[in-house]
């Protein structure tokens, strides 16, 4: 009887200790979360820290190369690579860039941004996929594993063509809010990467992407707020997209990307490492969630893309003039540029963002040349790494010499 009594007491003690341990862990978890909210996460032991989001950067380019080069410098400095979806014309114009990126471990994906792959024939999709595949593999010397069309659109013809060509992954619009997931359709030897998806008012849902949100009426500040809200939802996996000709060339957007790259709430990794952390969802293709919503076929931005301040050093050969459109020196400058066939980007003082944009330029060029060395007169002109305030014969000669 005593042995039974002793055993019962031991059992009760064990239960008490277990419950106490659970309670202590719960308190520690709350403590860690509060420390995180106050920015003290780095002081908390790693084993107590919340697991960061498995994040990947995807770059898209079908226009120029400047943004890609800017992203390359930044990601290289952080020892991160990205998935790069590129259209054939840019590959053909800059083969050395994409060959170099591939050698560094960037995943070069084929892209076709002329039209979405919805309701396009199998034969046409097969042709476009094969052309992209042959070009990517010829330039990079590596197998093309990923492909995406405009809007990340796909249908069953895309899956059939990709399967026939041995392409492993097709990019698709998001189906699980901010969480990015991978589907494995039973009928095809192809995986579907469903990207992170966010909402922006009446313009509906789209990718967590600079261009997508710009086209839906968001500025850089709203992009930052949506990005923060998405991270706060703590998905297991996330894809952050940048159309490099926007996010990689315009200062306000670039600054928001750099901030999030600094965050320890997301573990930014390359394509293969990002894949390795996935729990692939296998099901019949007919049961895979499908998203073809695009309400921004006609973009409705709050500001034209070229009105955003360029990243210093990227567009210094661009001629930019801030003016009021009526002053004598302003009109003389406009006439001079027209006579000499010099294209000029104009910012008028009547525009709501005039002073904000001018302030960003002045941060880089604290002293002006020309009629005033302290920005006292309009027009204010930026060209080839110099700033001019006012317009006279000296400014004319300097601009022509540059």
**53-305: CATH number:** 3.20.20.370
Write phi, then psi, for 155 (nearest 5 degrees). Answer: -145, -170
The secondary structure of 46-106 as a DSSP string is: GGGSPPPEEEEEEEEESS-SHHHHHHHHHHHHTT---EEEEEHHHHHH-HHHHHHHHHHT-
User: What pLDDT, on a 0 to 100 scale, did the predictor assign at position 34?
Assistant: 53
Residue 209 gets which letter from DSSP? Answer: B
- pLDDT at 5 > cutoff 50: no
Please give the Cα distance from 202 to 296 (Å, whole number).
10
- pLDDT at 118 > cutoff 50: yes
User: What pLDDT, on a 0 to 100 scale, did the predictor assign at position 21?
Assistant: 58
Report percent pLDDT > 90 for the chain.
74
Tens-place pLDDT, residues 56-92: 999 999 988 999 999 999 999 999 999 999 999 999 9
User: What pLDDT, on a 0 to 100 scale, did the predictor assign at position 14?
Assistant: 57
Helices (DSSP H) in 233-341: which residue ranges? Answer: 244-247, 251-262, 271-276, 328-339
For CA atoms 269, 152, 158, 87, give the dihedral sign.
negative
Q: What is the CA radius of gyration of the chain?
A: 27
pLDDT-based confidence at 11, cuts 50/70/90? low
Q: What is the mean pLDDT of the chain?
A: 89
User: What pLDDT, on a 0 to 100 scale, did the predictor assign at position 17?
Assistant: 62
User: What pLDDT, on a 0 to 100 scale, did the predictor assign at position 309?
Assistant: 85
User: What pLDDT, on a 0 to 100 scale, did the predictor assign at position 223?
Assistant: 97
Please give the Cα distance from 323 to 321 (Å, whole number).
6
User: What pLDDT, on a 0 to 100 scale, did the predictor assign at position 336?
Assistant: 96
pLDDT-based confidence at 254, cuts 50/70/90? very high
Tens-place pLDDT, residues 281-339: 999 999 999 999 999 889 999 999 988 888 876 666 789 999 999 999 999 999 999 99
Element (H, E) at 363: helix 354-364
User: What pLDDT, on a 0 to 100 scale, did the predictor assign at position 311?
Assistant: 85
- pLDDT at 105 > cutoff 90: yes
Element (H, E) at 109: strand 107-112
pTM of the model: 0.74
**Using an 8 Å Cβ cutoff, are 236 and 206 in contact?**
no
Q: Does domain 316-401 have CATH number 3.10.105.10?
A: no
Please give the Cα distance from 195 to 55 (Å, whole number).
11
User: What pLDDT, on a 0 to 100 scale, did the predictor assign at position 2?
Assistant: 38
Q: Mention every residue, 6+ apart, whose C-beta is less than 8 A from residue 137.
A: 143, 144
Please give the Cα distance from 171 to 192 (Å, whole number).
6
CA distance between the termini of the chain = 103
């Amino acid at each position: 009887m005593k042995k039974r009594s002793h055993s019962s007491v031991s059992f009760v003690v064990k239960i008490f200790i277990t419950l106490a341990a659970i309670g202590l862990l719960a308190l520690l978890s709350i403590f860690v979360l509060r420390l995180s909210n106050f920015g003290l996460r780095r002081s908390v032991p790693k084993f107590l820290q919340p697991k960061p989001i498995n994040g990947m950067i995807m770059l898209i380019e079908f226009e120029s190369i400047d943004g890609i080069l800017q992203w390359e410098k930044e990601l290289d400095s952080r020892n991160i690579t990205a998935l790069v979806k590129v259209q054939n014309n840019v590959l053909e114009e800059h083969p050395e860039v994409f060959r170099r990126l591939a050698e560094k471990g960037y995943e070069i994906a084929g892209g076709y941004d002329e039209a979405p792959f919805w309701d396009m024939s199998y034969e046409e999709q097969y042709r476009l996929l094969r052309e992209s595949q042959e070009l990517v593999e010829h330039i990079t010397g590596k197998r093309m594993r990923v492909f995406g069309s405009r809007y990340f659109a796909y249908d069953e013809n895309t899956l059939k063509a990709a399967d026939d060509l041995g392409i492993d992954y097709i990019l698709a619009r998001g189906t699980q809010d901010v969480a990015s997931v991978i589907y494995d359709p039973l009928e095809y030897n192809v995986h579907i990467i469903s990207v992170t998806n966010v909402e922006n008012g009446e313009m509906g849902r789209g990718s967590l992407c600079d261009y997508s949100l710009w086209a839906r009426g968001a500025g850089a500040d709203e992009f930052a707020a949506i990005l923060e809200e998405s991270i706060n939802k703590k998905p297991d996996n996330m894809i952050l997209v940048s159309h490099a000709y926007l996010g990689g060339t315009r200062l306000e957007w670039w600054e928001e990307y750099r901030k999030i790259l600094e965050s320890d709430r997301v573990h930014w990794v390359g394509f293969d490492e990002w894949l390795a952390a996935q729990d692939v969802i296998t099901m019949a293709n007919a049961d895979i969630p499908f998203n073809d919503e695009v309400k921004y076929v006609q973009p409705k931005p709050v500001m034209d893309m070229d009105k955003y301040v360029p990243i210093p050093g990227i567009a210094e050969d661009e001629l930019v003039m801030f003016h009021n459109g009526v002053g004598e020196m302003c009109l003389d400058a406009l006439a001079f540029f027209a006579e000499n066939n010099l294209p000029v980007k104009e910012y008028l003082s009547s525009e709501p963002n005039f002073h904000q944009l001018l302030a960003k330029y002045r941060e880089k060029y604290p002293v002006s040349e020309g009629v005033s060395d302290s920005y006292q007169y309009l027009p204010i002109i930026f060209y080839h790494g110099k700033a001019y305030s006012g317009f006279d014969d000296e400014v004319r000669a300097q601009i022509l010499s540059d």
